[in-house]
Amino acid sequence: MRRSTIVVILFAVIVAALIGYNQYVRQQPPVEMTLAVDPLVEDWVRAAVDQYNATDPRVQNGSVRIQYRVESVVSDTKAWLGQSGWTKDKHPMLWIPASSMAAQYYPSSAFQTIQPSLARTPLVWGGFRSRLEALSPSGVPVDWLLVSEALTKGTWTAIGASSIPGNINMALNAPSASSAGLGAIFTGVASLNNTDTITGGVLNGTTARDWLQVVDDSIRGLKSVSAAEDMARYGASRVQFGLLPEAQWLTSLQDLRRTEEIRFSYPAYQFILDAPLVMWIDTTTTEVQRQAAASLGQYLIGNSGQQTALQYGWRPVNTEPTDSAALFAAAVPYGISVQPLTSTPVLMPARSDAEFLARELQ
């Protein structure tokens, strides 16, 4: 038999073996990886996970198929306060909270970081132009000192805006149920005390307690998972401005503009939601599961995953949005910035201090 004929036969045998092996792998049930997500990241993560599943992800050199599934939606704060129902025997394999703070505060060390951040969204002041101009007639960007003074007075008439009826109501995501809401309170405490460090001594002071009461009175009954959507739906009749995640403002901007012109600005003290990927790791965790977690993390910080995050108003991990990012481009005329943020980051307080704030504002 000629050598060329033998080579052709061997090649055909190898190809047939590879095809057969691939068909065998496809016939095997995939290993399922379950995820829990915070409501703030849910839409973006579901879309990205669906896209990754469509690529037929595999680990172990292609021998094991993986299927990822968003199993539950649990707010960050409820998770680390022990209100999620998770136990050592019943818990998600993977968790994407809105903030790494939640994973660090979680009472068990079983959750370990796979990716420290998948995307970012800062907090942004936003509101209907007429109300923001009433809060700051001089045009100084609205921030906590102006807002605190206005909330103390209570009504628009009391701050000199006699043409605007009713109480001054601001929007926050519920501090007792979300990292975004709790982070907004952190920025307020930091601004009030002109420090990036929040301590128990600061929180227990009369000034901080009085301020917390004023803020709580304003937002009580108006706390929402997506306050921006509420503003878009009800206009200024319920709330007129707020300190919310940039991603929520961006995804609601089109509807908000139908009510009245919107304006945005960034607080002097900032709390950035960084959406990490963490994994529950214990003695039962397999190498396949570890590789599957790492594979998802790499996909989400890769080009496809980052483009999906941008489509939901989240900033990429290591870069800033470009002019081609539609949601950001549409919001730039109203005050959204695509430049690196210059606000001072608030240092994460001790868990006990954060828990005090969360429970105080329930």
Count of beta carbons in the 10 Å neighbourhood of residue 54:
8
- How many other CB atoms sit within 10 Å of the CB of residue 46? 17
Position 62 pLDDT exceeds 60:
yes
Residue 213: pLDDT band (50, 70, 90) is confident
Pairing of strands 111-115, 277-280: antiparallel
Instruction: Give Dmax over CA atoms of the chain in angstroms.
Output: 101
The amino acid occupying position 222 is L
pLDDT in tens, 149-202: 999 999 999 999 999 999 998 888 888 889 999 999 999 999 989 999 988 888
Is 90 exceeded by the pLDDT of residue 338?
yes
Q: What is the distance between the alpha carbons of residues 98 and 62, in angstroms, rounded to a whole number? A: 31
Task: Tell me: pLDDT of 326 over 90.
Answer: yes
Give residue 14's pLDDT. 55
- Encoded tokens for 62: 């292609």
pLDDT band at 1 (very low <50, low <70, confident <90, very high): low
C-beta separation of 64 from 31 below 8 A: yes
Tell me what the mean pLDDT of segment 200-224 comes to.
78
Q: How many CB atoms lie within 10 A of CB 340?
A: 7
Q: Which two tokens stand for residue 82?
A: 């022990």
| Six token digits for residue 314 | 């989240």
- For residues 112-141, average pLDDT: 96
In the prediction, which pLDDT does 252 show? 92
Read off φ and ψ for residue 140, nearest 5 degrees: -65, 135
pLDDT number for residue 237: 79
**Residue ranges of domains in the chain:** 30-116+276-311, 123-272+336-360
Query: Positive or negative, the Cα torsion across 17, 23, 24, 26?
Result: positive
Q: Are 115 and 240 in contact (CB under 8 A)?
A: no
CATH code linked to domain 123-272+336-360: 3.40.190.10
Residue 25's pLDDT band (boundaries 50, 70, 90)? very low
Q: What is the residue-averaged pLDDT of the chain? A: 89
Domains 30-116+276-311 and 123-272+336-360 share a fold: yes
Q: Give the DSSP letter of residue 118.
A: S
Residue 361: pLDDT band (50, 70, 90) is confident
| Percent of the chain as helix, strand, coil, to the nearest 5 | 45, 15, 40
Q: What is the pTM of this model?
A: 0.90
Task: Answer yes or no: is pLDDT of 6 > 80.
Answer: no
pLDDT band at 226 (very low <50, low <70, confident <90, very high): low
pLDDT band for 24, please (50, 70, 90 cuts): very low
Is the pLDDT higher at 137 or at 233? Answer: 137
Task: Give me the residues paired with residue 136 across strands.
Answer: none
Distance from C-alpha of 280 to C-alpha of 90, rounded to nearest angstrom: 11
Domain 30-116+276-311, CATH class in plain words:
alpha beta
